Chains A and B, each alone.
Chain A
Amino acid sequence: MASIFQYIGQAIAYTLFAVFVGYFATKPAYTNFPPDKAQIKLSFGHAGEHATECRRLTQEELNQLAPNMRRPLDCPRGRLPVLIELELDGELLYSEALPPSGLAGDGVSTAYKTFAVDPGQHQLVARLRDSNRTEGFDYEKTSEITLSPQQNFVVDFHPSRDGFLFL
């Protein structure tokens, strides 16, 4: 038969265990993001143009191919990297040449990036180049935005919906 002291000992053990479980089940709190900042999240997937233009094969070249493979156009699959730039209040926030995905370099280029910025009024410019031009951009959007603390401001890109989307 357990003595009273044993029961006290057990009670202490159970209590310590329960306190441990109860505490670490929710605490200490974790600061995932500075509460006095706002977030700009850039995320999109977009395929750059093909790196080389299609070339019409000569008749000789066609003759060398197996009959079922004779397609008049040779289109290398590789794509161009997508150039992206974000500018906040005239300062460059982000600039990157996003390589195409896939082993053959023929997939979409993806961006997924977050920035903690001060809340308040800003001018945001987003630019994107997906062609082989050497200067300038194919898409650009400028907007006056007002961010509140902890706001999640999303910059997305859909060419079918006029390019950049500020959400």
Chain B
Amino acid sequence: MSGLRTVAKAAFESVENFFDRAFGPELNPMHQLGALGWFFYWIVIVSGVYLYIFFDTGIHQAYESLEYITNVQWYAAGVMRSLHRYASDALIIVMILHLVREFVMDRYRGARWFSWFTGVPLLWFVFACGITGYWMVWDVLAQYIAITTTEWLDTLGIFGETIARNFLNPDILSGRFFTLMVFIHIAVPLFLLLAMWIHIQRQNYAKVNPPKGLAIGTLGMLLVLSFIKPAVSQPPADLSIVPAVIDLDWFYLAAYPLLDIIPGLTMWAIAVGGSLLLALLPWLPPRRREAAAVVDLDNCNGCGRCVDDCPFTAVILQQRTDDTAFSEEAIVNSSLCTSCGICVGACPTSTPFRRTSELVPGIDLPDQGMQALRDDVLAAAAKLSGETRVIVFGCKNGPDLQRLNGPAVAAMELQCIGMLPPSFVDFLITRHHVDGIFLTGCTLGDCHNRLGNKWTEQRLAGERDPYLRERVPRERIGKFWAGLTHNKRLSQEVAAFQERIKGLPPYHRPSRKPSGQQPAESS
């Protein structure tokens, strides 16, 4: 299973590499699928509100009002109509890609089940929005949808009457069903918004807005499409005629033709059963959970950095429970914790400089503690030889690290690169344990733990607490975010880095104190 998954992940990443080349990792649309979903949602809402001003909700007037929108006010309402349609279609595409991607990348199990589970209802809401939307046009497509949908609902046999009879013939047609559809088409998007908000509740700093460059490009693309191929109605609905050949929106209606072949009840079983199965996927099979992060109160000063940096909202601050002077303390909700260790990398007490032999940070991972990491790194560093001794820090979700090991290079695998406190880099370089530190991990913009490489970049750049101290010579730090697919390039980058540090003058600590005493390390 895990071997298969790694292959699938790497395959996905290879495709995404094409986008990386054109967009760069930050703007890579495949890294922004959820955010693009939100973006399309807002386009649909704004254009929908504008359309509603000119839309007549009567069943006999709706079609005419849309003809006005498309033909008379084509430059504004017409464009809005096209945006409304195409953004809805694009929402389907990014949503399906997003779903598949989260699955393939294995970001839906264990502590991460919540987003997956709450994503499933979104599928129903989105489809309900789209189907009722096409219904409101009351053209032959709407007629087909009305008849097919009600016939499908009738197969449930839970309505006292045959509701498809509402569309039997022009004399029987009444506006009541139409009014209901208009109502649903306005109400469901509001529920969708609520559900989308719930969906991201366990994501710290959820990406709900695509980066500006991507947003502009995407909106521009939709606008161009709207002018080249404006959304139009098909001939008006006429219940005395059978809709024969119809232009379908396959994004929303691909399942409708299936209803001609598959019995309605079977389709219900597929839709409902499929959704249930999908929702239960995080437990089929469940993920083996590693031990959650634990707080050591004696070493926690309640600074809150772990809370800020945890990608999964698993840490909060609460009132202090011991009698120290600090007002707050960190507390981990272990059911939300993915054991990524990013909080450990954020904790100011997680520093190898500490004199006491025990390295117990305020927050730590039981399965990969900081004390053990320091011991392992020092042991590995001691075995290195030459003038380009490098420790490579990587993560278990990123590139293959084993192949980097050599006489002058030792690779250390962390849960996540965000787990590495900058003080470790400082310690290893300024104490001459190694000549350089090289960092690698998941593709930038697509950390398996969402924010690990982003926080690392910011900590090194001095933009995020805890900072890498000024004194650490930046030229002795190399990095390359290799992901799963750039193993070869990673080896080259490490070799090139070794070349670069070879010629550097030896590092001397700036001697603020003549005695060369160790400056106190805290934040």
A associates with B: yes
Give residues in A with beta carbon < 8 Å to B. Answer: 2, 6, 8-10, 12-15, 17-18, 20-22, 24-27, 29-35, 38-39, 41, 43, 45, 101, 110, 112, 150-152, 154, 156, 167
Known: A18-B221, A32-B242, A32-B246. 16 other contacts (CB 8 A): A12-B22, A13-B23, A14-B218, A21-B225, A22-B225, A26-B247, A30-B248, A31-B244, A32-B243, A33-B242, A112-B154, A112-B164, A150-B242, A152-B241, A167-B168, A167-B171
Q: Tell me which residues across on chain A come within 8 A of B22, comparing CB atoms.
A: 6, 8-10, 12-13
Q: Tell me which residues across on chain B come within 8 A of A35, comparing CB atoms.
A: 244-245
Q: Tell me which residues across on chain B come within 8 A of A24, comparing CB atoms.
A: 89, 249-251
| Distance in angstroms between the alpha carbons of A41 and B169 in the assembled complex | 10
Q: Mark B78-91, 1 if CB is under 8 A from A, else 0.
A: 00000001100110
Interface pair A18/B241, CB less than 8 Å apart:
no
| Distance in angstroms between the alpha carbons of A150 and B240 in the assembled complex | 9
Q: Tell me which residues across on chain B come within 8 A of A21, comparing CB atoms.
A: 86, 89-90, 93, 225, 251
Give residues in B with beta carbon < 8 Å to A. Answer: 19, 21-24, 29, 85-86, 89-90, 93, 144, 151, 154, 157, 161-162, 164-165, 168-169, 171, 217-218, 220-222, 224-225, 228-229, 231, 239-251, 256-257, 260
Interface pair A26/B249, CB less than 8 Å apart:
yes
Name the CB-closest residue of B to A24: B250
Least CB distance from A4 to B in Å reads 11
Given contacts A14-B217, A17-B221, A152-B169, is CB(A22)–CB(B246) below 8 Å?
no
Name the CB-closest residue of B to A12: B22
Is the contact region of chain A dominated by helix, strand, or loop, or is it mixed?
mixed
Name the CB-closest residue of B to A101: B157
Q: Tell me which residues across on chain A come within 8 A of B228, comparing CB atoms.
A: 22
Least CB distance from A60 to B in Å reads 39
| Distance in angstroms between the alpha carbons of A13 and B239 in the assembled complex | 42
Identify the 8 closest CB pairs spanning chains A and B, nearest first: A9-B22, A26-B247, A14-B221, A35-B244, A18-B225, A24-B250, A33-B244, A39-B242
Least CB distance from A10 to B in Å reads 5
| Distance in angstroms between the alpha carbons of A34 and B260 in the assembled complex | 13
Q: Tell me which residues across on chain A come within 8 A of B243, comparing CB atoms.
A: 32-33
Q: Tell me which residues across on chain A come within 8 A of B245, comparing CB atoms.
A: 29-32, 35
| Distance in angstroms between the alpha carbons of A58 and B192 in the assembled complex | 63
Least CB distance from A48 to B in Å reads 16
Interface pair A41/B93, CB less than 8 Å apart:
no
| Distance in angstroms between the alpha carbons of A30 and B29 in the assembled complex | 32
With most chain B CB atoms within 10 A of its CB, the pick from A8, A24, A26, A150 is A26
Interface pair B251/A9, CB less than 8 Å apart:
no
Interface pair A151/B240, CB less than 8 Å apart:
yes
Q: Tell me which residues across on chain B come within 8 A of A18, comparing CB atoms.
A: 221-222, 224-225
A–B complex contacts, Cβ < 8 Å, 27 sampled: A2-B24, A6-B22, A6-B23, A17-B90, A25-B85, A25-B249, A26-B247, A26-B248, A27-B247, A29-B247, A32-B243, A32-B257, A32-B260, A33-B244, A35-B245, A38-B242, A43-B162, A43-B168, A45-B161, A112-B151, A112-B164, A150-B241, A150-B242, A152-B240, A152-B241, A167-B168, A167-B169
Interface pair A6/B21, CB less than 8 Å apart:
yes
Name the CB-closest residue of A to B87: A21
Q: Tell me which residues across on chain A come within 8 A of B257, comparing CB atoms.
A: 30, 32
